[in-house]
Amino acid sequence: AITRVHGRQVLDSRGNPTVEVDVELADGSLGRAAVPSGASTGTNEAVELRDGDPARYHGKGVRKAVAAVNGEIAEALLGVDARAQSEVDRTMVELDGTPNKARLGANATLGVSLAVAKAAAAAHRQPLYRYVGGVYAHLLPMPMMNIINGGAHADNAIDFQEFMIAPVGAESFADAVRIGSEVFHTLRATLRAAGHNTNVGDEGGFAPNLNSADEALEFVVAAIEKSGYTPGEDVAVLLDPAASEFYVDGVYDYRGEGRKRSVEEHVEYLAELVRRFPIVSIEDPMAQDDIAGWKLVTQALGDRCQLVGDDVFCTNAALLSEGIDAGIANSILVKVNQIGTLTEMLLTANTAFKAGYTVVMSHRSGETEDTTIADLAVATGCGQIKTGSLSRSDRTAKYNQLIRIEEELGSQARYAGSGSLS
């Protein structure tokens, strides 16, 4: 049974406060989890409770969420069996009483939810991926590695937020990390040789001052080739335009490029990029409010390309179900803090699997040293993880955890590769 629930305020990778929770069980088992935080958030995400006190952390403190953990939530959960994860999560949802965790904060509920799961796994003397995923958990996800950062994640003129690579042809997860690292370092050299800066953005990818998505894609493909790999065959390319960020008054405003594209022109531009570059997946190609655009892009590209809904679904099973009925996207990005409990995240993932949608486990642009999502990617067997670039410990911590899991699984382990895309 749960004997202690203790929250505290710690820092995330952007230097902002976030919630960390320790859970202790009667047998002494411990679980600890820290909560991530987004920058380009969807409007329907569960609420990340911030104090709003300008005198502390510029209003970004999370002392209210921590107080909820140490007060109401702890009171409700003391004595509860940590193995009853769905009961733990339901108790917090009901205690909160709002549809979007606005009262206690999804940062409070998520920290507790994940820490309870980790404590229960420890009590079972099992790694988290095994405890949550059961005996069949053996699939190592294909990583989507974000090597050029733009949009809200960098101070440059690139309109799209993320330019990613995926080592589809790797033999193992560790091999995928090696390939990703080689391409990352080759990209640094080619950017530097072309006179661009090689400072990194929030997710550890480079943030050069390039003028367009075209130019960024040319650098990425050249880096794959120069590293000795065949674009498309060995290493595929993936995009997250995060289009909600530049959808203004019904058009897509490419401020970096200095031009606007209508919904139709924007879809045609994406289709052109898919023709010209080995792009296998596009996340948030359209804005969360542009459902007509989402339908258009799904009809235009859905048979050729994984179309991942992030802002439009917000890891919410009800929103995903609406999207499935409307025929938009064919994949969902799953971020635990968008919904606020492990149980609800798993429900959303299962809703996607049943509908034949693929699932991508994802970090946030604000992360911590917590590696829970690495385990959850293996636990769900979703086959894909998006957790940033090949630099910055908040990103590589997840890759390193997956390397450990692969090693531990030994001959049971299987690397998802391109099979996970459909």
H or E segment to which residue 208 belongs: none
Output the CA–CA distances (angstroms, integers) from residue 249 to 245, 252, 291, 402, in the order listed.
12, 8, 14, 42
Residues that bind ligand PGA (rule: CB under 6 A) add up to a total of 11
- Please indicate if the annotation marks 218 as binding a ligand: no
Question: In the set 13, 40, 371, 372, which binds ligand PGA (CB under 6 A)?
Answer: 40
The item of Zn ion, ligand PGA, none sharing an interface with residue 96, based on CB under 5 to 8 Å by kind, is none
CB within 8 Å of 34: residues ≥ 6 apart: 10, 12, 18, 19, 20, 21, 111, 368, 369, 370
Nearest approach in angstroms of CB 410 to ligand PGA is: 32
φ, ψ dihedrals at 106, nearest 5°: -65, -25
Per the annotation, the verdict on 335 as an active-site residue is yes
Find which of Zn ion, ligand PGA, none residue 38 binds, CB within 5 to 8 Å per kind.
ligand PGA
Measured between alpha carbons, how far apart are the two ends of the chain, in Å?
Answer: 41
Which of 355, 356, 357, 361 has the alpha carbon at shortest distance from 333?
361
Q: Binding site annotation covers 20? A: no
Does residue 329 contact residue 312 with C-beta atoms inside 8 Å? yes
Backbone torsions φ then ψ of 278, nearest 5 degrees:
-75, 60
| Edge-to-edge strands, sheet with 2-11 | 2-11, 17-25, 30-34
Query: Mask: binding to Zn ion, 283-302, rule CB under 5 A, as x and -?
Result: xx------------------
Q: Which amino acid is at 30?
A: L
The catalytically annotated residue of 60, 101, 118, 335 is: 335
Which residues, in sequence order, are CB contacts of 213 under 8 Å at separation 6+? 158, 159, 160, 163, 239, 241, 273
Is 257 assigned a ligand-binding role in the annotation? no
The interface region with ligand PGA, picked from 55-63, 97-105, 165-173, 357-365 by CB under 6 A, is 357-365
Task: Provide, rounded to whole angstroms, the least separation between the CB of residue 314 and ligand PGA.
Answer: 10
Does residue 367 belong to the site contacting ligand PGA (CB under 6 A)?
Answer: no
Contacting range for ligand PGA; rule: CB under 6 A; set: 39-47, 81-89, 133-141, 189-197 = 39-47
Q: CB of 180: closest distance to ligand PGA in angstroms?
A: 18
Sign (positive or negative) of CA dihedral 210, 213, 218, 221: positive
Task: Determine, following the binding rule CB under 5 A, whether residue 51 of this chain makes contact with Zn ion.
Answer: no
- Contact letters (x/-) for ligand PGA, 116-155, by CB under 6 A? ----------------------------------------
233 is in an annotated binding site: no
Tell whether residue 365 is among the known ligand binding residues: yes
Instruction: Provide the minimum distance between the beta carbon of 124 and ligand PGA in the complex, in angstroms, as a whole number.
Output: 31
- Scanning 208-216, 248-256, 358-366, 407-415 for contacts with ligand PGA by CB under 6 A, the matching segment is 358-366
What letter does residue 80 receive in the DSSP assignment? -
Residue 310 is a binding residue for ligand PGA (CB under 6 A): yes
Overall size of the chain counted in residues: 422
- Min dist. Cβ of residue 121 to ligand PGA (A): 26
Measure the CA–CA gap between 135 and 133, rounded to whole angstroms: 7
By CB under 5 A, residue 245 contacts Zn ion: no
Pick the closer one to ligand PGA by CB: 96 or 284.
Answer: 284
Scored b (16 or more CB within 10 A) or e, 164-175 reads bbbbbbbebbbe
- The site string for ligand PGA over 156-195 (x = CB under 6 A, - otherwise) reads -----x----------------------------------
The CB-nearest residue to ligand PGA is 38
Q: Which two tokens stand for residue 20?
A: 């960390």
The candidate with the shortest Cα–Cα distance to 155, out of 194, 220, 201, 215, is 201
Q: Which residues are near ligand PGA by CB under 6 A?
A: 38-41, 161, 240, 242, 310, 362, 364-365
Tell me which residues touch Zn ion (CB under 5 A).
240, 283-284, 310
Residues recognised as catalytic:
203, 335
